[in-house]
Amino acid sequence: MEHTPAEGISWVAAGDEHFTGTVFFGPLSAALDRSLYALGVLFEPGARTDWHTHPDGQVLYITSGAGKVQTDDGETVRVSAGDVVFSPAGEKHWHGATETSHMMHLSLTTGGATEWLTQKVSDEDYRRG
């Protein structure tokens, strides 16, 4: 068994290469073969990912705050603590906090790293969400 107390999780700034606003990562998976990517992600109000996909899909479990998840066809859901969102393999999407709330989620993926697209989420798409 391996136990990591909350204060032992190394939260790091995500940077702006694939994000807009302030975002922090807390790695939760110690799997050596990286078959499971488990990551805590904290978005400050207004922060969001860029457009991206996942090879095997992604499960998001919202742990606190309020956020938005949108697909490239315009489907948008508002999420809050306790909600679960599944994005199937290859689905182009983004997610982040609302304008007035932080949002923290647990991201679970398999099949490899996130496939970042060279497209930021426009302010218009963000507001529409």
pLDDT digits (tens, 9 = 90+) for 96-121: 999 999 999 999 998 988 999 999 99
13 close to 26: Cβ distance less than 8 angstroms: no
Q: pTM of the entire structure?
A: 0.92
pLDDT confidence tier of residue 79, bands split at 50, 70 and 90? very high
Mean pLDDT score of the chain: 93
Contacts of 18 (CB under 8 A, 6+ apart): 49, 50, 52, 114, 116
Domain 20-128 annotated CATH 2.60.120.10: yes
What pLDDT is attached to residue 27? 87
Say if CB 70 and CB 76 are below 8 A apart: yes
| Nearest-angstrom CA–CA distance, 31 and 47 | 28
**CA pair distance 115, 129, nearest whole angstrom:** 22
pLDDT (mean) for 43-68: 98
Please state, in angstroms and rounded to a whole number, the distance separating the CA atoms of residues 1 and 48.
Answer: 34
- Calpha distance 24→18 (Å, rounded): 12
